[in-house]
Amino acid sequence: MTCQVTETNIRLEAVNAYFGKKQCRTIKTLADVADSLEDTYFDLNYINANFEEVKGVVYFDTDPAILGKVSYGPVARTTGDSAEVIAAAIKTVLDASSALVSSSVSGDTIDVENRSPFAVTAETDSGATGFTFTVARAGTGAKLGKTAQGGSSVTLEANTFEVKADQTGENLLDDISIGTTSSIEMGIIELSKAQFELLIGSATGDVVTGSTSNITGYGESRLYKSMKALGGTLILRPIRLEGEDDYTGDVVFHSCAPLPADINYSGSDQQVLNVSFKPYLDSSIDKKVNLIAFGDWTQSEILA
């Protein structure tokens, strides 16, 4: 006789939510003139899939082996290489690295975007390459904390156009897909000042930097602004997979804006900020999943 184990394929799936903007910077390179890039390097920091900062350097020739930093390289170079060749060589190294970043090259300039939201430590030309570094978008973000009972709800709606013909009356001949709409709703109960600024002040509202503390609210400043440009990335991580290096249960809204609905003030009920997130198409992601993705988004195959 053997012991029988029966598994029921029913899952209670509580999630943690992470929202923010991805750090994006431009690096304008220089030509290698008389070995001017020999043994130089520069900082490159990113956020890993567990939302932890990884500090690193991209180097030419010799690994500087800096304590606490990951090294990416060596970047291939030959004396006299143009700035355009150097930029392309940097992209080759980044594409082959374990760093969770995506990059694109235009002439002598390379754009490097972190694939996870949240802020990183300020990057510098620590190894004297002479390149010019510009932050195109500063990383921001936070874990949104505990949510109200009932959890987070993802809604999905497939929109179709019904094909009918006069000859066949109201009989349906076909449906043609005309897009999918989706949103996620949650009630935030662990509402810190930083989370309040992030969810209300980053998109539909705004923040005034005061002399003693910031002031968050609504006014005219966001009128006629792009919500997609003001938004960020939302990632839902099942609690059962936290810290497991397993992202197969993640739900990712690559580009979305938080739309706060209401917040209660009561002496007898817990305070809840009800907010929905509205997603937009992201051209940097494969068209098959560039609105919302279920699964391991850290894989490079998801990129366009």
Mean pLDDT of 7-28: 88
Per-residue pLDDT band for 204 (boundaries 50, 70, 90) equals: very high
Give pLDDT, residue 2.
66
Q: What pLDDT score was predicted for residue 19?
A: 97
Domain residue extents for the chain: 23-138, 153-302
The model's pLDDT over 255-273, given as tens digits with 9 standing for 90+, comes to 999 999 999 999 999 999 9
CB 57 within 8 A of CB 66: yes
pLDDT of residue 133: 97
pTM for the structure as a whole? 0.91
Pairwise CA distance, residues 45 & 239, whole Å: 26
**pLDDT at res. 6:** 63
Contact 197, 214 (CB under 8 A): yes
| Across 116-142, average pLDDT | 96
C-alpha–C-alpha distance, residues 12 and 34, integer Å:
63
Say how far apart CA 139 and CA 148 lie, in whole Å: 27
Rounded CA-CA distance 151/149 in Å is 6
Confidence of residue 1 (pLDDT cuts 50, 70, 90): low
Residue 77 or 7, more confident: 77
What does the alpha-carbon distance between residue 81 and residue 29 come to, in Å, rounded to a whole number?
11
Could you tell me what percent of the chain has a pLDDT over 90?
92
Contact between 261 and 275 (Cβ < 8 Å): yes
Find the angle CA(220)-CA(221)-CA(224) to the nearest 5 degrees. Answer: 85
Domain 23-138, CATH class in plain words: mainly beta
Residue 90 CB burial class (10 angstroms; 0-12, 13-18, ≥19) = buried
26/16 Cα distance (integer angstroms): 31
pLDDT digits (tens, 9 = 90+) for 155-201: 999 999 999 999 999 999 999 999 999 999 999 999 888 899 999 99
Give the DSSP H/E element, type plus range, for residue 182. strand 174-188
Report pLDDT for 9: 66
Averaged pLDDT, 91-119: 97
Q: Six-digit token pair at 147?
A: 């949510």
When pLDDT is averaged across residues 220-244 and rounded to a whole number, the result is: 95
What is the C-alpha to C-alpha distance for residues 161 and 284, in angstroms, rounded to an integer? 28
| Averaged pLDDT for residues 39-61 | 98
One-character DSSP codes across 94-131: HHHSS-SEEEEEETTEEEEEESS-S--PPP--TT----
Residue 151: per-residue pLDDT: 86
CA 119, CA 131: separation in Å to the nearest integer? 22
User: What pLDDT digit, counting tens, does each position of 56-86 carry?
Assistant: 999 999 999 999 999 999 999 999 999 999 9
Pairing of strands 153-163, 140-143: unpaired
Sort residue 179 into left (φ over 0), alpha (ψ -120 to 50) or beta. Answer: left
* Pairing, β 232-238 against β 251-263: antiparallel
